Amino acid sequence: MSTVSFSFEVNKTIPGFQGRSGEITTPHGVIQTPAFVPVGTKATVKSVLPDSVEDLGAQAVLSNAYHLYLQPGPDTLDEAGGLSKFMNWNKPTFTDSGGFQVMSLGVGFKKVIDMNGDSLNSDDLIAEKRERLAHVDDEGVTFKSHLDGSMHRFTPEISMQVQHKIGADIMFAFDELTTLHNTRKYQERSLERTRLWALRCLDEHQRLTQQRKHKPYQALFGVLQGAQYEDLRRKAARDLGAMESSGISFDGFGMGGALDKSMLGTIVSWMAEELPVNKPRHLLGIGEPADLFAGVENGADTFDCVAPTREARTSAVYSPDGRFNVSNGGYKKDFNPIDKDCNCYTCANYSRAYLNHLFRAKEILGSTLATIHNLHFIVNLVDQMRLSINNGDFSEFKKEFLGRYQARGASTDS
Ligand SMILES: [Zn+2]
């Protein structure tokens, strides 16, 4: 069990870009990349059976270390045999480090982390409207549980200990979350803090890997910050890309933090140009179709985002002509599937009218069926991108898909 059973191989690249197709091998199976990874925050993809998640084509699931730390607690997952076994998902799993939630739920970033900031520019403003529930210092973060108000502390070491017990195949180093509203000076300070935390994560990860040799190998990805600043993004990628400590280096990289969406592709390309080619890159929290194309084109291999599942539960569904709300009155007697060309279970068996009824009647099945469709749509979209890279026609596929998807304009996609 103790042998390193994690690897990545590049298959084809997109001419003129950093984007590529490839294959990540983990102890729980293989992920063909690029791939979209559905989010199962609390060890469940909300409202959907693991069998359905597998049937709709997902290759992996990403859970959240912060949520699982608070509930049910990492010891429960460890004793259960790890995340995969606990949730009956027999494929690869990821956990994020908990840093994002510790800081976003704690500090009150939620409103400003929407990646659209351009007017404000103050480190103080972030906490102004809300009680500061998390305090960041050089050692770690002290925060208040959003569940019961109890006080907790995460450090790089604790994040590693929690993630080792949770037992996902791919973990992320503990980083400090910043927003687009932080000043340049704060971004610099934070980048250095994240760099030092990355070293501590490597050391603790190696210690735990040695200590837990009987467990399947867990890969560790370093997380790159730097907001919208080219020099900071490149520095983060160079620093963490070359980083070694306790005789090990990162198995891959997470591209994280505040990303100005209008520059998404450019920012990803800065990092991809600096990172080692032979290690996988995960773009954290990105899942809208246009953003996925930009990420794939510029060198991101895997993606996760709550959007497809969260939106499904509010009756917003994806189609090749854009996103629409199936609970709107116009669909009351529309007996077509959500998308007539979709191969998912929902579209094979149910009409827009039925979904419209379920949402209006507040029936749980509405969320389940819409989630299956949305996840299939996004997972399949990224699968198609992979095929197009392998076939050498990514740019044509991108143009064709987005041309149709965005034709109806702002009413469909935010
Ligand atoms: Zn469908």
Give residue-wise pLDDT tens across range 261-295.
899 999 999 999 999 999 999 999 999 999 999 99
Residue 305 Cα to ligand 1 midpoint, Å, equals 18
Residue 292 and residue 321 share a domain? no
Predicted pLDDT of residue 310? 97
Closest-CA residue to 168 (of 120, 113, 216): 216
- For residue 139, pLDDT beyond 60: yes
Domain count across the chain: 2
Residue 226 and residue 115 share a domain? yes
Residue 287 Cα to ligand 1 midpoint, Å, equals 17
Out of 78, 96, 239, 291, which one is annotated catalytic?
A: 96
Residue 301 and residue 220 share a domain? yes
Residue 298 and residue 163 share a domain? yes
Out of 78, 251, 301, 304, which one is annotated catalytic?
A: 304
Residue 14 Cα to ligand 1 midpoint, Å, equals 29
Predicted pLDDT of residue 372? 98
201 pLDDT band, cuts 50/70/90, is: very high
Residue 313 Cα to ligand 1 midpoint, Å, equals 15
Is residue 310 one of the residues assigned to a domain?
no
Residue 398 and residue 269 share a domain? no
Is residue 414 one of the residues assigned to a domain?
no
Predicted pLDDT of residue 131? 56
Residue 294 and residue 211 share a domain? yes
Residue 286 Cα to ligand 1 midpoint, Å, equals 21
Contact 45, 29 (CB under 8 A): no
Q: What is the mean pLDDT of the chain?
A: 91
Sheet containing 302-305: give its strands across. 35-38, 302-305, 281-283, 252-255, 219-224, 170-172, 93-96, 61-64
Cα separation, 277 vs 19, in Å, equals: 10
200 pLDDT band, cuts 50/70/90, is: very high
- For residue 87, pLDDT beyond 70: yes
Give residue-wise pLDDT tens across range 2-56.
466 899 999 999 999 999 999 999 999 999 999 999 999 999 999 999 999 999 9
Residue 52 Cα to ligand 1 midpoint, Å, equals 12
Q: Is 55 a catalytic residue?
A: no
409 pLDDT band, cuts 50/70/90, is: low
Using the 3D structure, point to which of 249, 282, 305 is the last residue of a domain: 305
Q: Is 96 a catalytic residue?
A: yes
Lowest-pLDDT choice from 17-31, 62-76, 121-135, 140-154: 121-135
Residue 98 and residue 186 share a domain? yes
Lowest-pLDDT choice from 102-111, 285-294, 397-406: 102-111
Burial 78-94 (b: 16+ CB within 10 A, else e): bebebbbebbebebbbb
Segment 86-113 mean pLDDT:
75
* Domain with 344 in it: 316-408
Cα separation, 218 vs 248, in Å, equals: 13
